[in-house]
Structure 1
Amino acid sequence: MKILATARLTLRTLETSDAPFFLQMINDPSWIENIGDKGIRTVAEAEKNIEQGPVLMQRRLGYSLYLVERSSDGVPVGLCGLIKRDALPDADIGYAIWPAYWGEGYAYEAAAAVVLHARDSVGLVRLLGITSPQNLRSNNLLKKLGLSFVRVVRFKDDGSDTNLYSLEFPSRHA
């Protein structure tokens, strides 16, 4: 299901048929370094993760992690969307662009659309962002999107530090 469209991109819900691309994304060295190893190694495991993660979240909450495709040719370039994690009080924005497409502005374009979607369509009051302290590109992207650094937190199973960012949306009733 199409969720958002930008000048160059379409963001749509993930489907089990996206499992081969999803599997490549989450096993890319840059994903493992900056986001972590999900331990998913087969297409069947990727299908199960999509079903129990983004598909279920979309059904339950009305938002999830989306597939990012180029509008011109439908080529998948990454993932971007909203994620509600048990370890955080509010939804956070998540994104990853396939390394072959880095430097083309796709991460910002997709993420900026998701921020507006979070505010205007989903109705979030606050949006969080998390990233590894050493991931300078991601830290800079969160700031460019208007999120402010809050503090370093440790909530991952491996005990590593994570930068927490936040963006408060103004009340619509003010």
Structure 2
Amino acid sequence: MTEIRTPRLLLRRWTDDDLVPLSEINADPEVMRWIDDGSVRDLEETAGDIERYEEEWDEEGFGLFAVELLGSGELIGFAGLSVQDSLPDVGITWRLGRQFWGQGYASEAAHAVLEWALQDRGLDRVVAVTHISDHASENVAGKLGMKPGRETDHPVHGTPLRVHAIDLTEYRA
């Protein structure tokens, strides 16, 4: 089983116990405002999401990790890698419950995932796609050393996006 430990977090594969806490995160309009069209997700949709996350692990050898606090075992969200539908790149992504914002957890989890992607998974390049108005996620991408690049629109919802990227040579520098 693939796991990554950071000083405060455990990044791990999904379990049945993760469904309710993730559905509570996905039901928060403030959390979801920068995701796709901003719609919240219910329990059934979240179950389908987790199923797709696990399928990507099986198909690609990477995916989205459930992120829990080491001290309490509480699920706080996810961070990981996914194949980008409209780009030829693998993207890093994160989503945390609102009560966990502003504490450095997203940067800590994303940094661990980026290191794992470039060093253990052998990827040469990783992107992060952020909504242009999502300053918190843009800040996390910057903390990862990613450079903002081209702007595009979401292929389905038309929202303005920015693609940030880092390659292996930039990461090691």
Aligned partner of residue 57 in structure 2, secondary structure: helix
Deviation at residue 134 of structure 1 after TM alignment: 0.7
Aligned partner of residue 134 in structure 1, secondary structure: coil
Aligned partner of residue 150 in structure 2, secondary structure: strand
Q: Which is further off, 30-39 or 135-144?
A: 30-39
Contact 2:66 2:75 in 1 (8 A): yes
**2:72 matched to which residue of 1?**
73
1:88 maps to 2:87? yes
1:24 maps to 2:18? no
Aligned partner of residue 170 in structure 1, secondary structure: helix
Identity of aligned residues (%): 28
Task: Give 5+ residue unaligned stretches, structure 2.
Answer: none
Contact 2:31 2:97 in 1 (8 A): no
**2:15 matched to which residue of 1?**
15
For normalisation by structure 1, the TM-score amounts to 0.90
Pairwise CA RMSD of aligned residues?
Answer: 1.7
The one-letter code matched in structure 1 to 2:41 is: I
Looking at structure 1, the residues matched to 155 and 80 of structure 2 have their Cα atoms a distance apart, in angstroms, of 20
* CA deviation vs aligned residue, 1:41-79 (integer Å, no higher than 9, x gap): 2x333222211x110000111111111101111011121
Looking at structure 2, the residues matched to 47 and 150 of structure 1 have their Cα atoms a distance apart, in angstroms, of 33
**1:40 matched to which residue of 2?**
41
Deviation at residue 38 of structure 1 after TM alignment: 5.7
* CA deviation vs aligned residue, 1:81-137 (integer Å, no higher than 9, x gap): 001122111111100121111121111110110010011111111000011111111
